[in-house]
Structure formats: C-alpha cells, structure tokens
Structure 1
Amino acid sequence: MSESATGGSGQPARDERVQSGIPRLDFILQGGLKQGGTYALMGPPGSGKTILANQLCFNHIEKSGGRCVYMTLLIESHGKMLRHLEGMSFFRLGDVPEKIYYISGYQKVRDEGFSGLLELIRTTLRERRATVFIVDGMESAEQFSSTRQAYGEFIHSLQALASLLGCTTLLISNMRERTHVEHTLVDGVLELSDQLIGPRAVRELTVHKFRGGDYLRGRHEVEISSEGVSVHPRTEVQFAHPGEFAHEQRTRMAFGLPRLDEMLSGGLPSGSTTALLGAPGTGKTLLGLSFLLEGARQGQKGTYFGFYEPPPRLIEKAEDVGLPLERYVRDGTIQLVWQPPLEHFMDSLAEQLLETLRAETRRERRRLFIDGAEGFRAAAVYPDRMPRFLSALTNQLRSLDVTTVMTDELELFQPQLNLPTPELANVVETVLLLRYVEMRSQIYRLLSIMKMRESHYDTSLREFRISRGGIDVADSFRSAESILSGTGRIREEARPLLRETAKKTAKKKPAKRRRGGKKDGGGR
C-alpha cells in the first residue's frame, strides 16, 4: 500500500475510492467503492455476481496496479470458474496467481470454524499485499455458524481486519433479506436481480445502502456480454441535472424545401427538438433525411439514428427520389447509426446515441434525425418511464446544441389524432404532421405545422409530394376542408374550378402507362 493511499499513517485516506472500471457502475456509486470498506453483493444464481467481482479485480489490477485475493467458500473448483471466465475480454491468465490469487476457504471454515477462516484470511491478505478482497459464497459461511450472533461477530471481525489493512472487501451471497445481519454491518449493499418481465429476461442493479456517500437510487439495467458486465443508469436519473443550454445566438436550420422553410420562418431553431408525426408511407423518413442533407450542404455534421432500415436500403431509398445521401455518408458528413429491431434496453440506446454525438471533438452545431420514437418505446421494460425518459433525453440533446428531428408513427387511417407517445408532443418545441387524405378516388399527402414554440409559423395545410424528381411542398391545398380527420370534403367555392379542370383533363388523351411502372415514389 503506497503512502499516498494510506495518507502516511497506515490508515486509508479519507474517502479514497476504488474504481471498479465497470461501465457506469462507478457513476452510480458517485466515484466507486470506498477504500477499506466492506460491501455486500447479493443476487440469485445467474444474475452476474461472479462475473462482476472478477471484472472488478482485473480492472483494478490494470488501472490501479492493485493486487487481489479471491476466496471461495463454495465446493465448486477454481479451475471450473476460470474456464468460464476465459471467454471474457477482461480476463488475463497471466495475472494469475501473482496479481490475482484464488484460494478456497471452504475446508478451513468447515474444519476450524470462523477462527481458522479469519486466520487464513489475515495471513493471505498480508502475504499477497491485497488491496481488493472478494469472498464468494457467504451463505456457506453462515451454514457453519452455530448462532446468528456468531455469524455477526465473524462479519464484524472481517470488516475490522479489512479496514486495518486498507483492503476493500466484497462479500458475495445469494439473495437474502435486506435486514439480514450481514447487511446491517457492511458499508454498502448492492443487489443484482434477474427476472422475467413479460417474455423478456431483465437483469437490474439496485444500490440499497452506501454509507458516507451519495449514489443513484432505484433500478438500473444490466447487460452481460463477452465484454463483461455493463450497467445502464436510468436516463432520467443520469441526466436529472443537464448542463446549461448553449448561449450562442440561435440560427435557423432549414429542410432545403423552400415552401416548408418559408412556413417555418426560415427553418427550425438551432438546439431545438421537433416531433415529425405521420402514418406509414407519408414520407417521414425522406423528410428527415432531407433535413440532414440540407445541413450537409452547409457543412454541418448530421447523424441518422434509426431502427428499421439498414444503411444500404436507406441510401437506396433516398437516391430513388433524388436525395444524394450516399455522397455525404462516404465523406463522413452524415453518419448512419442503425439499431436492428431486436431486444434492446432503452437506456443503453440513449447512451449509445449520446456517446456517438459526444465523440465529435469539435464543438459545433449538429443535426440529428431519430427515426423513430417507437424504437425507444419498444425497448422500454417499464412503459410508464417514457415521459421522464424523453424529457431527460431531449434536454441533454439541447445542452449539446443538437437540432433534433424525431419521428413517431400514427395509425394508417384514423378519424382522430391519437398519439402513440403523447408525452413526445409535450417535450418538443415543434410538431410537424404528415397525413393522408382521400378525395375523388385519389390519395394525397398533407403537411402542416401543429405547434412551434417561440416562433412565428404558417398554419396553412400544404400538399407534400414524393416523386422520382424528389420531395416537395406545394403552395397550398385550398380545395378541401376537414382534412385533418382524413375525410376531406370539396369546398363549395372550389367545385366550379374542379369541374372545369375535370373537363380539360377528359379531353386529353390519357398517357399510356408502362407495365409495372410507377407514377409516384413512396416514402415511409
């Protein structure tokens, strides 16, 4: 133990922390475990306790140059455990046994009781100069205790020994009551859970106790992969206090569609968030890509974050309507981030998105297109979190000065506007609506601005067109009324004009359509 770590007096320095190196666990613990402290890690079999403890040891060796002792009180051999760990990226066989020493205490506690086990622990920790000590299988030690008091005295003696040596200790056991004697004596209690919520198997971490320090309360998502354990704090807790919003003069971020930009008084305010609502095929994706492409033409970086269309298909779709997406993807101006619609965790998706945006070292205005909000909703284990989640995520994007457009899918045909994510409209500054309307056996797409905070905007309805020549917004849509219901009616004053137009059309010879050809492009 170095003098700096002990404060020069043989005792641990005040509030010195031992970082676990496990992604975001130290953030939840507001810095890591306290040096010399004793902590309980509990959870059912399969929840990841052994992986987490070993990952902590190998990270501690690599990052802090520490030394670890891993003691098991289980019948299972160390060789079997090490074989299971060999597939983990953090595992380094070269650190065994010099830097991480595995030892069994099962036979000692069985034959000599707690006095013999404590002597073995004292001798081993001193010989190995351990800075982290793991005891795996505390339920076995409890089985050998004659009384509850005897077990409590053993925990107290172990805690005093670890504190004297400045060794941070983690006691691992299967699930048990939080009022258990072991949990009342230790400095902190961490619980790993593994449960079925509907058809999904969900692992979570909860910190129930952490003496002398602050921590993030509640349940946090846990993932286990070949990289080891990763913890994903709840987004609304992780970003409960967002940084200050950008104070630079706000500018307008245009879509590159003259009449739409005119309706928006020049474009969306920089650093704002916009909800783009519409039924399938109304053109939400193409309109969002147009927003990114206009920024790319001005030299602004853009990110596409989507769930349903892989990059090659997205590029093909854009190029079919004259949007040169591939060019800007190749030169790096636009980045495509695709998440296939599999089982994701909502907080993990938010972290990936924000880390992608923070990876840009230059502090500049960026554009973001999230296609669509239903991807987050599908990943939510607890749907009632969505309002707080979206509020925290959009606030964080604003603090990064990112101008965001986020789509959300409406039903194909519905008489009323029933938003699948009603809270989205409350947390954004602008709401754009794309709708279908049927008139005279023809289907039209309509675009309107439903809301735009702190800005003037045009409330008129415009036809939104998608063709091989590109996407465009018409001057107006004056011939219909009640179209927001999806059941447009011809206005009386427009009927003579429409009859005259119909006569002229009837006199013309109809164009011969190519077999299999398309009159109009499609868009999602």
Structure 2
Amino acid sequence: MSEASARESTGVAGLDTILGGGLITEQNALLRGPPGVGKTVFGLHFLSACDADETALYINLGEPTAYVERTAAHFGLDSPSLQILELAPTAEEFAEGGTYSLFSAAEVEGPPLVSEIIDTVEERAPDRVFVDPITELRYLTTDDHQFRSQILGLLDFLRDAGATVMMASQSAPDSPDTDLQFMTDAIINLERRRDTLTIDVPKFRGPSPKRGPHTYEVTTDGVEVWPRLHPDVPAVEFPDERVSSGVPELDKLLHGGLQRGTVTFFSGPTGAGKTTTSMQFVKEAAGRGNYSVIFSFEESKRTMVRRSKALNIGLEEMLERDRLDIVEVRPGEYTADQLTSMIRDAVTEDDAEIVLLDGFQGFKQNLRGFDDDRGPVDYLVSIGRYLREQGVTTLVTNEVHDITGQFRVTEEATSNLADNIVFLRYLEYNGSMEKVVGVLKMRTSDFEDSIRRIDFTEYGVTVGDPLEGLTGILTGTPRFEGSSRSETDGER
C-alpha cells in the first residue's frame, strides 16, 4: 500500500467501513456534534486503536483528566500507549486567580498553551492525536483571525510530526464551526434525531465514503456503528434453481418452487397461515442442510417454536442443528441500519439461503431510524436488492386487514417490491370458514393460475387439488358454476 493511501483505523469497525478503511494517515478529521452524542468515546476508540509500537496523545481542553480516565476505563479503552495532556483550567488555578490564555506562535515567551502542545508532541512523537474540544481554543484567542491562524498552524505542525488527528467540535446554532470545516480534511457529523443517533461523513479528502446517514449507539462496550445498507456489492454467481416448500401441491402452484434469489410476499389477513406457509420453505432448506434466518417482528421466538411444533414443522430441531436462527425484533430495540447489518452478517458470515422477514407491519413500526414515512419501503427495497444479488431467497409476510370482501394484495404500494406474490385467503363455504392459497405473480417464470384449499394440522401443511366450479373466491363469497356441490365437497 502506498503512503498516500495508507489508512488508520478509527477503532470503530462500522465507521471504518463507512470511510472505506479508516482515516487517511497524517490527515485530520473534525468530529462534530452537540453534547451527549459520544464524541469523547469516539476519540478514545481512535486513540486506543494504536498498534503496539505506536503512541497516542489526548489533548484535553474540556473535562477534567480524572473524568476522561474514568470514561476510558469504563469502556475498556484505557490503552497503555495513551498519554493525556490536560490543558483545561483546573479548580486550583481558578482558586489561585491564575491566568489562562493562549498566545500566538510569535508570543511564546511564557508558559502558553501552544508551547505546551509543541513540547509534548516533540517529546512524545504521537502517531495519533485527539483534541477535545478544538472549539475551546476559540475562547482563548483574541479574534477569529487569530483563531484560524492558530488552528492552521497546529494542524500543520501535527501533520509534519507524522500524526493522524481527530478533533472534537461542540457544534451548536449559536456557536458555528464553519471555519473549522473548511480547514479540515474530513468531517464526521454526529446527530441525535428523535430517538436515534446518526453519523454521516459529508467531507472526506480521499475516496468517497458510503452515503448516509448511518446509525450508531453508545453501549456498555463503547460505540457501535451500523452502516446503511447499499446494494452496491458485487453480485455473486449462484445456480439457477428452484427452492422447494416440501409440499408437492404448493410447489405445483409455483411450477416447482420459488426461484432462488427472488423476493416473495406471502399476503393475507391475520391467521390465514402466512408465517406457517413461509416456514415450510425454511424447513425444506434445513432438510437440505442449509441455513436460514427469521426476523420476527410480531411474535416471540418461544411462541414461534411452540407453534411450529404443533404443526410438525420443528423449528426447535433446526435451531439445535444450527440450521436456523430466529431474531426477535421488539419495538424500539433495533435501528433499521442495525437490522440490515444483521442481515448482511447472516449472508456473509453464515451463508444464509433464506431470509424471512415475518411481519411487514411490525417491520415498519418496531424499527428506529427511518427518515420518513417512505423510509420502511426504501429500506425493504435495499434489502431485497442486496439479497437478490447474493442469491438469497427472501420471504416477507404482509398482512391485509380485510378478512373477506374486496380482494387486496397489500395495504399499501409494496407489491411492486416483490418478484412473487403468494396470497392466502379466507372464504365462507357451506357454513364454515375455509382457507385457500394462490399465486398472483411470479416475475421470473410461469405459475399455476388456480386456487387450492390449504389446511394447517398437526401433520403439517396440506394443500388440496385446484378448486373448480367455484367463482367469486377472491371476494370471500364463492358460488357454484358448472359443478355440483357434491363434486366440490369431494375435493376436500
């Protein structure tokens, strides 16, 4: 790797991914954000990512050093290579009435702040420097011109010393840092949007970073960043094959099964059997020795396993054989970017054949970090495109509210996202409620255009022969045309 393209890890894997490998060596980055978004923790991650033969310098212009040390220890970021240079005024200095001033480079005749930085850098020769916060220097200079001159001089000095620099900026409407943004090589924006923390990189002197905003959290283990999913990874080669449900009559409806690498919606009202039908494909994949993952937005893992046992699907056995993982997605627990990161891991690390998103309504309601009302659909489009390119078969259950009456595939304009649409429907027949299944759309192949009765029993999923002689099935109120009732009853 050439010196110009050498990278320094930020210490946060997700941020490194966004930047394309980390910060460029000997460049500087401005870490902007209001109080409480984790700037100090980001900086500590950056300093702790030093190699064993490197050194790091924390130039502290804000919090007391004891607080910084406690923070570093709390997150396990107290690297032995770290030195803290405290330049913030201490309580003792204030009590003694001491002065606290910054002089220009031509005025370093006393113990000014700049000379302390210079002396420490020359003595320590740090490979990484974090200045927290750089905006504090604004209050220690006489005017904006002197502030800009001092910052430019400091950055040039640190670059000449061979250091890669990260600086925190306390950005606020009443305290703009526009001048700092012009002077730096990279800008990393941290922001709190309602209940979600976001990170974006609007400026980077180097290869373009991944578009955001992305989401992150400050957890007990430090900062975790989840890059936004963009389906821009190279497509993989995968066989042109069908994914079977293991139910012969259902496969007949699909002309042999679902095409691998497609997105299928299972649409219907509550209780019609959308999840159970889609789990048949998961069961069959496990029987072939392949791995699947279910993201459940509407019921617990325990309930799903118990129900599958009653239907002879056996999710528990699949879990025990590591052929399946079930992820419960409770309301507000994950951001949308966090979910897509888990999907990406299931594909790249576990080689998932099937990804089942169980409950599109829950997908919309349970996740945090959507930009607007269109956000859930846009994310689902990105997920579908990414999984198609990776040869993964995607299943999505989608609830419609009408149990009978006017036929509707989806509650909103999402049907265009699907390559295939399998619908399940209630109908009132002979004084009882029956369930039927049919295929409305298959983008990559032909399909059977009939409708079949579907039952869910302790023996599993059973699908009957095509229903003939009945019309009006999709309205929920069928009637006979051209067949006797006894002939239709015999098809059960």
Give the structure-1-normalised TM-score. 0.83
Q: Which amino acid aligns with 2:313?
A: L
1:501–1:377 CA distance, 2 compared to 1 (3 A) = closer
1:256–1:204 CA distance, 2 compared to 1 (3 A) = same
Pairs aligned (count): 470
Deviations 1:424-457 (A, max 9, x none): x223321101111223432111111010122121
The residue number in structure 1 matching 2:119 is 123
Deviations 1:344-383 (A, max 9, x none): 211110111220232236xxx8233221333432215223
- Aligned equivalents of 1:294, 1:337: Cα separation in 2: 20
Please tell me whether the aligned partners of residues 212 and 227 of structure 2 are also in contact (alpha carbons under 8 angstroms).
no
- Aligned equivalents of 2:99, 2:258: Cα separation in 1: 69
The residue number in structure 2 matching 1:519 is none
The residue number in structure 2 matching 1:181 is 179
SS in 2 for 1:113: coil
SS in 1 for 2:346: helix
Please tell me whether the aligned partners of residues 109 and 144 of structure 1 are also in contact (alpha carbons under 8 angstroms).
no
Q: Which moved more, 1:384-393 or 1:150-159?
A: 384-393
Mapping of residues 376-395 of structure 1, within 5 Å = 376-378=363-365, 379=367, 380-382=369-371, 383-395=373-385
Please tell me whether the aligned partners of residues 228 and 340 of structure 2 are also in contact (alpha carbons under 8 angstroms).
no
Aligned: 1:373 with 2:360:
yes
**Residue of 209, 214, 228 corresponding to 1:234:** 228
- Aligned equivalents of 1:208, 1:49: Cα separation in 2: 17
Mapping of residues 56-67 of structure 1, within 5 Å = 56-58=46-48, 60-61=49-50, 63=51, 65-67=53-55
The residue number in structure 1 matching 2:94 is none
The residue number in structure 2 matching 1:520 is none
Mapping of residues 45-124 of structure 1, within 5 Å = 45-58=35-48, 60-61=49-50, 63=51, 65-74=53-62, 76-88=63-75, 90-92=76-78, 95-96=79-80, 99-107=81-89, 110-115=100-105, 116-124=112-120
- Aligned equivalents of 1:406, 1:294: Cα separation in 2: 17
The residue number in structure 1 matching 2:314 is 324
Deviation of the 1:170 alpha carbon: 1.6
Please tell me whether the aligned partners of residues 243 and 396 of structure 1 are also in contact (alpha carbons under 8 angstroms).
no
The residue number in structure 2 matching 1:203 is 197
Q: Which moved more, 1:396-405 or 1:163-172?
A: 396-405
**Residue of 159, 166, 169 corresponding to 2:165:** 169
Please tell me whether the aligned partners of residues 36 and 168 of structure 1 are also in contact (alpha carbons under 8 angstroms).
yes
Deviation of the 1:114 alpha carbon: 4.5
The residue number in structure 1 matching 2:456 is 466
Please tell me whether the aligned partners of residues 468 and 488 of structure 2 are also in contact (alpha carbons under 8 angstroms).
no
Please tell me whether the aligned partners of residues 227 and 341 of structure 2 are also in contact (alpha carbons under 8 angstroms).
no
Between the aligned residues of both structures, percent identity stands at: 23
Q: Which amino acid aligns with 2:70?
A: R
The residue number in structure 2 matching 1:522 is none
The residue number in structure 2 matching 1:441 is 431
- Aligned equivalents of 2:385, 2:233: Cα separation in 1: 7
The residue number in structure 2 matching 1:513 is none
Mapping of residues 398-477 of structure 1, within 5 Å = 398-413=388-403, 415-417=406-408, 419-420=410-411, 422-423=413-414, 425-477=415-467
Deviation of the 1:295 alpha carbon: 2.1
SS in 2 for 1:111: coil
Aligned: 1:497 with 2:485:
yes
CA RMSD of aligned residues (A): 2.6
- Aligned equivalents of 2:412, 2:222: Cα separation in 1: 34
Please tell me whether the aligned partners of residues 109 and 117 of structure 1 are also in contact (alpha carbons under 8 angstroms).
no
Deviation of the 1:118 alpha carbon: 1.9
1:206–1:324 CA distance, 2 compared to 1 (3 A) = closer
1:206–1:295 CA distance, 2 compared to 1 (3 A) = closer
Q: Which moved more, 1:131-140 or 1:149-158?
A: 131-140
- Aligned equivalents of 2:277, 2:391: Cα separation in 1: 21
Give the structure-2-normalised TM-score. 0.88
Deviation of the 1:184 alpha carbon: 1.2
Please tell me whether the aligned partners of residues 408 and 421 of structure 1 are also in contact (alpha carbons under 8 angstroms).
no
Q: Which moved more, 1:272-281 or 1:338-347?
A: 338-347
Deviation of the 1:492 alpha carbon: 4.5
- Aligned equivalents of 2:26, 2:53: Cα separation in 1: 16
The answer for unaligned runs of 5 or more in structure 2 is 90-97, 106-111
1:220–1:328 CA distance, 2 compared to 1 (3 A) = closer
- Aligned equivalents of 1:421, 1:500: Cα separation in 2: 35
Deviation of the 1:112 alpha carbon: 4.6
Please tell me whether the aligned partners of residues 451 and 467 of structure 2 are also in contact (alpha carbons under 8 angstroms).
yes
Please tell me whether the aligned partners of residues 463 and 477 of structure 1 are also in contact (alpha carbons under 8 angstroms).
yes
1:243–1:307 CA distance, 2 compared to 1 (3 A) = same
- Aligned equivalents of 2:24, 2:149: Cα separation in 1: 22
- Aligned equivalents of 1:497, 1:16: Cα separation in 2: 78
Q: Which amino acid aligns with 1:44?
A: P
The residue number in structure 1 matching 2:30 is 40
- Aligned equivalents of 1:229, 1:468: Cα separation in 2: 47
Please tell me whether the aligned partners of residues 427 and 478 of structure 2 are also in contact (alpha carbons under 8 angstroms).
no
Q: Which amino acid aligns with 2:237?
A: A
**Residue of 191, 195, 200 corresponding to 1:193:** 191
Aligned: 1:217 with 2:208:
no
Deviations 1:299-352 (A, max 9, x none): 333332323333332221111122233223222223333333443211110111
1:453–1:468 CA distance, 2 compared to 1 (3 A) = same
The answer for unaligned runs of 5 or more in structure 1 is 8-12, 503-524
Aligned: 1:312 with 2:308:
no
Aligned: 1:337 with 2:327:
yes
Q: Which amino acid aligns with 1:367?
A: I
- Aligned equivalents of 1:188, 1:465: Cα separation in 2: 60
Aligned: 1:243 with 2:234:
yes
The residue number in structure 2 matching 1:158 is 154
SS in 1 for 2:101: helix
Q: Which amino acid aligns with 1:182?
A: L
